A and B are shown apart, each in its own frame.
Chain A
Amino acid sequence: MAEHLLEVRDLSVEFHTAAGTVKAVQNVSWHLDRGETLAILGESGSGKSVSASAVMNLIDMPPGRITSGRVLLNGRDMLAMTAEERRRINGARIAMIFQDPLAHLNPVYTVGWQIAEMVTTHGGAARDAQARALELLGRVGIPDPQAAMGRYPHQFSGGQRQRLMIAMALAMKPDILIADEPTTALDVTVQAQVLALLEELQQETGMGLLLITHDLGVVAEIADRVVVMNNGQIVETGLAAEVYRNPQHPYTRKLIDAAPGKGQMPQARDRSGAPLLRAENLHKHYGAFHALKGVGLTIMPGETVAVVGESGSGKSTLARAILRLDDPDSGSILYRGQDLMTMTPRQIFGLRRDLQMVFQDPTQSLNPRMTVFQLISEAWVIHRDILPKAQWKARVAELLVKVGLRPEHAARYPHQFSGGQRQRIAIARALAMEPKLIVCDEAVSALDVSIQAQVIALLDGLRREFGLSYLFIAHDLPVVRDFADRVIVMKSGQIVDEGPVREIFEAPGHPYTRALLAASLDPDPEVQAARRQARASQEERIPA
């Protein structure tokens, strides 16, 4: 049998936690060769990053423990090496980059120092290290590398920070680069650029790339082979295109089916009649920053309007303005013909019943010290006239069933639920108000793909049942494709494109919408391959 560059054989790791011993991964085996890209695909809790942590010696023991297996680098078992031997491998032969570069870069040292440290740590001279850092900064596309050397991580944008991480990782020309969710927190257009950079660098250096991700699109874009993990075990492995076209395991099929953007798009609606909500010419400044520059929108009864934009586009500011959480500086918001901006606090209080919100992260939007019953029934404590107290218990049970939970969950606290379940609780809380319009601010972005699909299906079903309207804020177009009636695309505080969902997806008018669509990754490797080809030929033409 040929010797692989890196091979993990029968690795099992367990962690001691409050809930007892958790088997994080069981009998996991995979291998990586020079010049290839292997993706480990899995949702949160699948144990997808555990084997990489074992390779990097990053598992804290205790509470972690490696119970079986071997990690072979060129045939040598790393688990049998001394700590000093492993330290010499880290960074020099195997380097790693992480999901949240801001947290993973030391905030108090300059980026030049941090990149140079990689060289000096592994025996390089300080002067060479500086030169190497400068060269790398230029290579990964940081503008004005000389000045960038002396800046701190917080002075860069999210995409640039990930480039800095990559520069640091490549300083010693490692044989292997491990990338743990490298693009998850980034905007779609930036994600495409970072992935392209990784691919380019791999071709240049011939290193093996191990990519850990939850995103089928990322796998389709960059991976040669894929390992699918669920509950700490490998359920399927093979060539990326092969696995997508012909998934063997039911879990893989479920994942592929859950990927958004494949269903029927809703037909355009008739928009005559009185709108439920109409906002006009909203402006909002935060200091010198102009967050909303004259934005307006209309929502009809029973309609789902999606607002899509990247970070800094003003989409969340818009949502908060409409709910009067942050008052806009100027403009008008008419709810059923009444102007919210001129309402008395008393009128606003009455209005709260009709306008509700579901937040991005249910871990933070549910008070950790309240039970599910208290969370849901709070609506009726505040608005006494909705429901007499005798019926609260029954109604909470009913709402829990409606969002796919069980009545006995009412006595529990939020931390006893998974992320998807928590978002269901948040939805039940919003429904308790019996609202007309629910503003969903990135309500599914923090959830796993398969959970995302379930929550969207739930929201859609509730809309039909109660005749609700949604204002759905998202950073990504595919998510809203199967669900929204109308799509509004925002950029830098302005609306750049707006129309029925079909028009936006099938005949996008604005170049920015086209760029967003092009940058979003399709889960099908063949589609992505075709897009890459198209991009490449386009680039060839442009410089000429």
Chain B
Amino acid sequence: MEAPTGAMQQKKGSRATAVPPPTPEGEEGGHMKTFIGKRALASAISLVGLVILVFFLSRLTGDPTNLYLPLDATTEMREQFRELHGFNDPLVVQFGRYVGALVRGDFGNSIRQARPAMEVVLEAFTWTLWLAAITMTLVTAAAIVIGSLAAFKVGGIFDRIATFFSLIGASAPDFWLAIVAIVIFAVNLHWLPTSGTGTALHWVLPVAVLFVRPFGLILQVVRGSMISVLGSAYVKTARAKGVRTRPIIFVHGLRNAMLPVITVIGDQAAAILNGAVVIETIFGFPGIGKLMIDSILLRDFSVVLAAIMVSALAIFIMNLLIDLAYAALDPRIRY
């Protein structure tokens, strides 16, 4: 499922883009390393706990043997299948074997596709990474521009329209949007393909449907953050200096308003990276979300575990990038 709703968790403090300021000299180099180290350690602890939990819990969902062998398979064949994939040993032994292989860099094999699980996962992950990158770039650009302009005249006609549509966007279930979009654009108008990949046109519907909810949420946060920044003392100073309206919004205001926005952008991107399951399923998009749900349903345990580890690593790296973005935007933040 999707993202933590970030709209409310606006962080205190403040932060821009238009005019690149001179960056402060590297007085923090060493602290930065310890900071990354500490974060990596905390994430590693969480990841170990997660892998253990997933390993044991996922096996509670049943034996995959029956799912893979034909109904008329003999007991002997079943036994052979179990032996081959090591399902006969006690769980703890299976886990020990798994960890042993992990240390050697072996993530196990996919039962379903009969090739290394990591290979399967990375292939799917690449697709999802592109989907997330394209969608979030569009969302971020649109939400920032429209949200900032809405905040400049609170209660004005532009603000009202933007707010109303962003709320609807934040409220729409993506699977519903997806099927309505398919009915309109693919079935009735024949403008776009219903599912699959191949041409650029195949990307239009998934990206468009994925765009809606994050756009609504992020626009709300941009607007709220911008309103409070535009009421701040330093914006008053800028007005007293005679600075023009546009630089007040996009130079003085925006950079300060970005911190809480970045947090939510991160949350939303993480949600897509974790697998836009529903969208990928409906549009037959071979991403990590579809792989995840298929593997869970077909008890392809190695793939599930590899997918979780790849997602965790991706999200760790993204959170780190977000922290770096904080520090780049706000000189008061040092790690």
Given A87-B244, A90-B239, A168-B241, A103:B21 Cβ within 8 A = no
CA distance A118 to B330 in the complex (A): 22
Write the B306-319 contact mask toward A (1 if CB under 8 angstroms, else 0).
00000000000000
Segment 1-46 of B: residues with Cβ below 8 Å from A: 14-16, 19, 21-22, 24-25
- Shortest Cβ distance from A89 into B: residue: B242
- Most-contacted residue by chain A among B237, B240, B244, B330 (CB, 10 A): B240
How many residues does chain B have at the interface if contact means C-beta atoms less than 8 Å apart? 28
With a CB–CB cut-off of 8 A, which chain A residues contact B241?
A: 90-91, 95, 117-118, 121, 168
A122 in contact (CB, < 8 A): yes
- Most-contacted residue by chain A among B16, B247, B256, B331 (CB, 10 A): B331
**B332 adjacent to A106 (CB under 8 Å):** no
**A107 adjacent to B234 (CB under 8 Å):** yes
With a CB–CB cut-off of 8 A, which chain B residues contact A92?
A: 242
With a CB–CB cut-off of 8 A, which chain B residues contact A57?
A: 239
A110 in contact (CB, < 8 A): yes
**A108 adjacent to B255 (CB under 8 Å):** yes
CA distance A91 to B243 in the complex (A): 9
Interchain nearest-CB distance for A32 vs B (Å): 17
A88 in contact (CB, < 8 A): yes
With a CB–CB cut-off of 8 A, which chain A residues contact B66?
A: none
- Shortest Cβ distance from A95 into B: residue: B240
**B240 adjacent to A113 (CB under 8 Å):** no
**A109 adjacent to B242 (CB under 8 Å):** no
B218 in contact (CB, < 8 A): no
Given A100-B233, A152-B24, A152-B332, A107:B256 Cβ within 8 A = yes
Write the A81-118 contact mask toward B (1 if CB under 8 angstroms, else 0).
00000011111100110101001111111100100011
With a CB–CB cut-off of 8 A, which chain B residues contact A154?
A: 331-332
Write the A140-161 contact mask toward B (1 if CB under 8 angstroms, else 0).
0000000000111010000000
Given A100-B233, A103-B234, A106-B256, A121:B244 Cβ within 8 A = yes
**A58 adjacent to B242 (CB under 8 Å):** no
CA distance A160 to B5 in the complex (A): 42
**B240 adjacent to A56 (CB under 8 Å):** yes
CA distance A109 to B331 in the complex (A): 8
With a CB–CB cut-off of 8 A, which chain B residues contact A90?
A: 239-242
CA distance A185 to B242 in the complex (A): 26
**A58 adjacent to B239 (CB under 8 Å):** yes
- Shortest Cβ distance from B331 into A: residue: A152
With a CB–CB cut-off of 8 A, which chain A residues contact B171?
A: none
**B242 adjacent to A107 (CB under 8 Å):** no
Interchain nearest-CB distance for A368 vs B (Å): 18
- Most-contacted residue by chain A among B16, B243, B244, B330 (CB, 10 A): B243
Interchain nearest-CB distance for B154 vs A (Å): 10
B149 in contact (CB, < 8 A): no
**B24 adjacent to A104 (CB under 8 Å):** no
B236 in contact (CB, < 8 A): yes
Segment 240-285 of B: residues with Cβ below 8 Å from A: 240-244, 247, 252, 255-256
**A110 adjacent to B21 (CB under 8 Å):** yes
Write the B184-216 contact mask toward A (1 if CB under 8 angstroms, else 0).
000000000000000000000000000000000
CA distance A117 to B243 in the complex (A): 8
Given A103-B233, A105-B234, A108-B15, A88:B331 Cβ within 8 A = no
Given A121-B244, A150-B22, A108:B330 Cβ within 8 A = yes
CA distance A91 to B252 in the complex (A): 16
CA distance A150 to B238 in the complex (A): 19
B232 in contact (CB, < 8 A): yes
Write the A115-140 contact mask toward B (1 if CB under 8 angstroms, else 0).
00110011000000000000000000
- Shortest Cβ distance from B256 into A: residue: A108
With a CB–CB cut-off of 8 A, which chain B residues contact A107?
A: 14, 234, 256, 330-332
Interchain nearest-CB distance for A103 vs B (Å): 4
- Shortest Cβ distance from A100 into B: residue: B233
With a CB–CB cut-off of 8 A, which chain A residues contact B236?
A: 58, 98, 104
Given A107-B331, A110-B22, A113-B19, A88:B242 Cβ within 8 A = yes
Segment 177-225 of A: residues with Cβ below 8 Å from B: none
**B242 adjacent to A91 (CB under 8 Å):** yes
B288 in contact (CB, < 8 A): no
CA distance A435 to B32 in the complex (A): 49
Interchain nearest-CB distance for A59 vs B (Å): 11
Write the B48-76 contact mask toward A (1 if CB under 8 angstroms, else 0).
00000000000000000000000000000
**A91 adjacent to B240 (CB under 8 Å):** yes
Interchain nearest-CB distance for B214 vs A (Å): 25
With a CB–CB cut-off of 8 A, which chain A residues contact B234?
A: 103-107
Segment 473-524 of A: residues with Cβ below 8 Å from B: none
Return 15 A-B CB contacts under 8 Å, by A number: A58-B240, A89-B242, A90-B239, A91-B243, A95-B240, A98-B236, A103-B234, A106-B237, A108-B15, A108-B256, A108-B330, A109-B255, A110-B22, A150-B22, A150-B24
Extra A-B contacts (5), CB below 8 Å, given A107-B14, A154-B331: A90-B239, A104-B233, A107-B256, A113-B22, A152-B331
Which residues of B pack against A, CB within 8 Å? 14-16, 19, 21-22, 24-25, 232-234, 236-244, 247, 252, 255-256, 329-332
